[in-house]
């Protein structure tokens, strides 16, 4: 008895090669390295950024701790208030972080600063020191321009002239920034805005803690006039996660992060981070944003001059004229 083995190769039928199996020809490209269809399309440029704000009480002896905090928490730009350092300088504080500060007044009070981590420090374009309570930095990444403002509002008990001067100077800083550029304001604004938004739904998200005081009314008036959204109030948290200042039994929300209302959609989260030992009373507040811009495609070469067209008598006469 003979057993015949049928293999797949013996029984398989031959089919014509389909188009999907044929090797595709490489796309035609111009001399500039572009697809034959035309100009290069602009590409999306996306930047992830975490901005934070923290009242440090004093920078003395805290530089290394702040650098370590930024690295652990992934903070790219950190606004610090009440630095109490005199002078307008910049210095390295460790972990590749650079501190830029606007000095305290003659009494050694106030003072603000902005810390850039090792990624963002190379994108620094300019620094503006308005006063011992307000300063800003401009960062440039490809076609994106970011402005980060650090602010420290006068406390309860300061004169009305000092409070009005602070809000006037802060408004001047914001008005100097073009509308297409991003602005983030981080600061200790020393006011209670509460959780009730009423008719202020454009700038107040309706989430918060506590009531509202006179200083809080000033914050809301400023945000409404400058169209700045208070990002703390647009994300639902537990009541304890809105607390930014705690001293004994006193718990309040006085540290805020603001952005332009038309760029609020780029902010994905805003929260309070507890458990950091840098300061005993204030808590770190951070926002996470995804900034989308357009990166330009490759530039086209200069058009070729068609000199041979001058052989045409009519064109030659037009060229002479």
For residue 274, what pLDDT is reported? 92
Residue 9 placed within a domain:
no
pLDDT tens column, 171-193: 999 999 999 999 999 999 999 99
Q: Compute the distance between CA of residue 318 and CA of residue 303 in angstroms, rounded to an integer.
A: 20
User: How many domains is the chain built from?
Assistant: 1
Residue 31 placed within a domain:
no
Domain extent, residue 123, equals 43-295
Would you say residue 259 has pLDDT above 50?
yes
Which range, of 20-29, 52-61, 112-121, averages the lowest pLDDT?
20-29
Would you say residue 8 has pLDDT above 50?
no
Q: Compute the distance between CA of residue 273 and CA of residue 242 in angstroms, rounded to an integer.
A: 10
* Max CA distance (Å), the chain: 114
- Rounded average pLDDT over 29-48: 55
Residue 19 placed within a domain:
no
For residue 235, what pLDDT is reported? 96
What CATH number is given to the structural domain containing 170? 3.60.10.10
Q: How confident is the model at residue 46 (pLDDT cuts 50, 70, 90)?
A: confident
Residue 103 placed within a domain:
yes
pLDDT tens column, 58-108: 999 999 999 999 999 999 999 999 999 999 999 999 999 999 999 888 888
Residue 30 placed within a domain:
no
Residue 48 placed within a domain:
yes
CA distances from 286 to 181, 210, 238 (A): 20, 20, 16
Q: Compute the distance between CA of residue 302 and CA of residue 32 in angstroms, rounded to an integer.
A: 11
pLDDT tens column, 100-143: 999 888 888 899 999 999 999 999 999 999 999 999 999 998 78
CA-based angle 289:232:139, to the nearest 5? 40
Residue 13 placed within a domain:
no
Q: Torsions phi, psi of 214, nearest 5?
A: -60, -40
Residue 33 placed within a domain:
no
The reported pTM is 0.78
Q: How confident is the model at residue 232 (pLDDT cuts 50, 70, 90)?
A: very high
Q: Compute the distance between CA of residue 135 and CA of residue 111 in angstroms, rounded to an integer.
A: 9
Which range, of 33-37, 43-47, 164-168, 169-173, averages the lowest pLDDT?
33-37
Q: Compute the distance between CA of residue 51 and CA of residue 1 in angstroms, rounded to an integer.
A: 84
For residue 317, what pLDDT is reported? 75
CA distances from 61 to 10, 53, 65, 76, 279 (A): 83, 18, 8, 21, 12
For residue 104, what pLDDT is reported? 84
For residue 1, what pLDDT is reported? 47
Whether 245 and 281 have beta carbons less than 8 Å apart is answered as: yes
Q: Compute the distance between CA of residue 277 and CA of residue 199 in angstroms, rounded to an integer.
A: 38
Q: Torsions phi, psi of 50, nearest 5?
A: -115, 120
Q: Compute the distance between CA of residue 256 and CA of residue 50 in angstroms, rounded to an integer.
A: 14
For residue 277, what pLDDT is reported? 87
């Amino acid at each position: 008895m003979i057993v015949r083995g049928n293999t797949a190769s013996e029984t398989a039928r031959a089919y014509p090669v389909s188009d999907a199996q044929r090797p595709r020809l490489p796309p035609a490209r111009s001399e500039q390295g572009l697809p034959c269809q035309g100009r290069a399309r602009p590409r999306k440029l996306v930047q992830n950024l975490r901005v934070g704000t923290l009242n440090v009480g004093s920078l003395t002896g805290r530089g290394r701790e702040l650098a370590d905090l930024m690295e652990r928490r992934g903070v790219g730009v950190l606004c610090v208030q009440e630095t109490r350092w005199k002078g307008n300088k910049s210095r390295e504080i460790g972990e590749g972080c650079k501190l830029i500060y606007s000095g305290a007044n003659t009494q050694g009070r106030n003072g603000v600063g902005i810390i850039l981590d090792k990624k963002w420090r190379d994108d620094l374009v300019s620094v503006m020191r308005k006063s011992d309570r307000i300063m800003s930095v401009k960062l440039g990444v490809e076609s994106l321009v970011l402005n980060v403002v650090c602010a420290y509002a006068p406390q309860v008990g300061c004169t009305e002239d000092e409070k009005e001067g602070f809000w006037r100077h802060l408004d001047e800083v914001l008005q100097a920034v073009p509308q297409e550029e991003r602005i983030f304001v981080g600061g200790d604004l020393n006011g209670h805005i509460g959780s009730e938004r009423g008719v202020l739904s454009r700038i107040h998200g309706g989430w918060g803690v506590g009531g509202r005081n006179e200083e809080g009314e000033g914050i809301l008036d400023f945000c409404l006039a400058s169209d700045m959204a208070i990002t703390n109030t647009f994300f639902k948290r537990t009541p304890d996660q809105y607390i930014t200042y705690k001293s004994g039994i006193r718990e309040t929300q006085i540290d805020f992060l603001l952005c332009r209302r038309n760029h609020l959609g780029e902010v994905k989260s805003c929260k309070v981070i507890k458990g950091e030992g840098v300061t005993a009373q204030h808590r770190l507040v951070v926002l996470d944003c995804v900034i989308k811009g357009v990166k330009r495609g490759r530039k086209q070469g200069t058009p070729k001059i068609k000199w041979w067209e001058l052989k045409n008598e009519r064109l030659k006469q037009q060229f002479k004229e």
